[in-house]
Amino acid sequence: MMETTFLRPYSKVSGCDAGSSDRKVYSCVTSGPRPIDGSSAQAVVEALQRSCCEMRWNAVQTRQLPGREGIEPLRRPQEAMAEPLFDSYATAYDQALARSLAASGEGRDYFARGRIGWLSRRLGELHFKPASVLDFGCGDGFTVPLLREGLGARTAVGVDVSDESLAVARERHASESTTYTHLDVYWPAGDQDLAYCNGVFHHIPLAERARAVAIVRESLKPNGLFSLWENNPWNPATLYVMSQCEFDKDAITLSAPETRKLLRAGGFEIVCTDFRFIFPRALRMIRKLEDLLFRAPLGTQYQVLARRA
């Protein structure tokens, strides 16, 4: 049997960083060291990342969150999320989403920028300026550069369980300050100022949601903020849009009170709950009223902004 050892410039142990694919990686086989380049190097990097994080997650399998005695220990990331539902939609996500949003008269960009704009307003009221941002469940990476731009963050990382979606994200949106990582090889290192998540938790099985919250909490610095956006099941328009969405057929919605309860149980304190996106494009002339009605549970989406306790 051939034994292989991988050697590389090691740079960031705490973040489980296995180096970028453009660095030279060596494979030491029975015939001696030889350089590996291109796609082979990327495969080596990913294999090393998965192996590294596998060992580290096993090492903390019995760890308890501070002050959360009695709660089930934090598990490996791939056990904390739903199956990768979006591989088959990776390259056609925009089209599928556009079909489901057609009744609103708006597209993906409108809602993404609306969420980030409202979050920016809330952060400004708190005098909170995130330098680092995590997009938990980033999909094809569309929102990650918008988060950096809208919030003024220096770095951003997108995490997801869909290999195909991450491939699209890296191709379209990756940069020196914006990276995309599979949840299998992501290690929450407590180094993020802000975590953002939109429309992900209704795809996570009920029994796994607490573990997903734990991963986000462990990713944040002390007093870091978590902006969790979800579809409002109390709004009939939301339910209609979700019924038209191909990848929401098996979704289990969360009401705002359920989301607050979930976050409190996971070690967060609630900062605020806001409801947005009440009026369709046909009524856009009165959308200014949304800035006065955000506390009423009328919007098609809501944000629960929470702080790591």
- Please give the average per-residue pLDDT across 223-237, as a whole number: 97
- Which range, 41-45, 94-98, 215-219, has the best average confidence (pLDDT)? 215-219
Q: Which of 22-26, 128-132, 221-225 has the lowest mean pLDDT?
A: 22-26
Instruction: Identify which has the larger pLDDT, 208 or 82.
Output: 208
Whether 138 has a pLDDT exceeding 70, the answer reads yes
Please state, in angstroms and as integers, the Cα–Cα distance from residue 70 to each residue in 57, 62, 74, 209, 216, following that order: 19, 11, 12, 17, 19
Computed over every residue of the chain, the mean pLDDT equals 78
- Please give the average per-residue pLDDT across 204-226, as a whole number: 96
Q: What gap in Å lies between CA 12 and CA 191, rounded to an integer? A: 13
Whether 66 has a pLDDT exceeding 80, the answer reads no
pTM of the predicted protein model: 0.75
Q: Report pLDDT for 104.
A: 82
- Please give the average per-residue pLDDT across 11-36, as a whole number: 37
Query: For 236-253, what is each residue's pLDDT tens digit?
Result: 998 988 888 776 878 999
What is the full DSSP assignment across the chain?
----EEE----BGGGTB---TTS-EEEEETTEEEEE-HHHHHHHHHHHHHHHHHHHHHHTTT---TT-TTSPPP--GGGSS---TTGGGTTTHHHHHHHHHGGGT--HHHHHHHHHHHHHHHHHHTT---SEEEEET-TTSSHHHHHHHHHT-SEEEEEES-HHHHHHHHHHH-BTTEEEEEGGG----S-EEEEEEES-GGGS-GGGHHHHHHHHHHHEEEEEEEEEEEE-TTSHHHHHHHHH-GGGTT-----HHHHHHHHHHTTEEEEEEEEE--S-GGGGGGGGGGGTSTTSTTSSEEEEEEEE-
- Please give the average per-residue pLDDT across 217-234, as a whole number: 98
Q: Which of 2-11, 218-227, 237-246, 282-291 has the lowest mean pLDDT?
A: 2-11
Q: Report pLDDT for 24.
A: 31
Query: For 143-190, what is each residue's pLDDT tens digit?
Result: 999 999 999 999 999 999 989 999 999 999 999 999 999 999 999 999
- Please give the average per-residue pLDDT across 100-104, as a whole number: 72
Query: For 46-56, what is each residue's pLDDT tens digit?
Result: 555 555 555 44
Instruction: Identify which has the larger pLDDT, 199 or 43.
Output: 199
Give me the domains of the chain, ranges plus CATH numbers. Answer: 5-59 (no CATH), 79-308 (3.40.50.150)
